[in-house]
Amino acid sequence: MIETLAPPLANDAIETVLRNELAQGDAMIGSITPILRHLLSSEDHSVFSDEIVARVRGSASDLSRQLLVEVAQDRGSEPGSEPEPAALDALTHELIAAPAVLAHLHSCALEWQLTQRLHARLSLDPVLSPLLQALIASSDAPTAGLAMNLLAAQSRFVQNQRRMRLPLGELPGDLLHTVLVAMRALAEDDAAAETAEAAVRGRYDEGRSRLGLMARLITGMGGGAVAALAVTHAGVALFVSALGLASGQDRDLAILSTNDGQLARLALALRAAGLKPAGVEEQFVALHPEIALPDGIEALGSDRAAAILSLAGAYTGA
């Protein structure tokens, strides 16, 4: 754990501390999805009532339900009819068994948990952050239009998380492919499943998804995107997107870095993103007010932080 009131450290020493912390964080990441998969497959649900586990299970079940409804409609089922419980359970199991899908669902649950925590502690609006409000008011019409679309998408995300839902169209493209392949495998290449898959793919537009809108908006901000690296100004959603893009990490990993067990990764990511030590400290005050960075963090340059971070593990759920 990054210590409070730590003595000043030389450049090599602070690198050693952060490398060791990062290695411990990587070890924790490697254990997350096997443990989560075990909890999700347990028959004794009362023992594992944690909100994150329930939210991941609910999201996986909702994805399965959407896919099976698509197939059922192509087979002529009445609109609004629910899938057979056995089929729903089987597909949900397949999705949970897919490491990348499980990792993403876990990250969505962590993002929502952080959003709720900062709303309660800092009164940070889950939907309309100060930065998003400023972008909506931009004199640049394309920027304002993207921001308005993101406002609607973020509002849907909040409502869906409260209901433990995740629309297929909000998945990253590679994960949409993964869940469709899982559906086809269980359907044994049924013609209705093939038609349903084509319909889902035909409607899909990653650039109009919540994640796609955030990436487009942040990229379009150019140098001004540094404003998105202040979580109290940008809000959780834009902050983790900007952190991932600026530090060269996957967004899901950027979300995970805000966890208590990933403090070294967060510090390295913020430095790699170009934040000065004072800016890094500000984000720690917002995210982890009980933690003080060790003296000497200013000796670690952005390029060096990025190099150390590039050697760390990924969060693929494997």
Inside any domain, residue 290: yes
pLDDT of residue 208 exceeding 80, the answer is yes
Inside any domain, residue 2: no
Inside any domain, residue 132: yes
Range of the domain at 57: 11-310
Higher pLDDT, 118 or 301: 118
Region 70-93: mean pLDDT is 85
Region 217-225: mean pLDDT is 95
Inside any domain, residue 5: no
Higher pLDDT, 59 or 15: 59
Q: pLDDT digits over 31-57, tens only?
A: 666 766 666 654 433 323 478 888 999
Instruction: Give the span between the Cα atoms of 89 and 276, in whole angstroms.
Output: 49
Inside any domain, residue 24: yes
Inside any domain, residue 4: no
Inside any domain, residue 98: yes
At residue 313, the pLDDT reads 62
Domain tally, the chain:
1
Inside any domain, residue 3: no
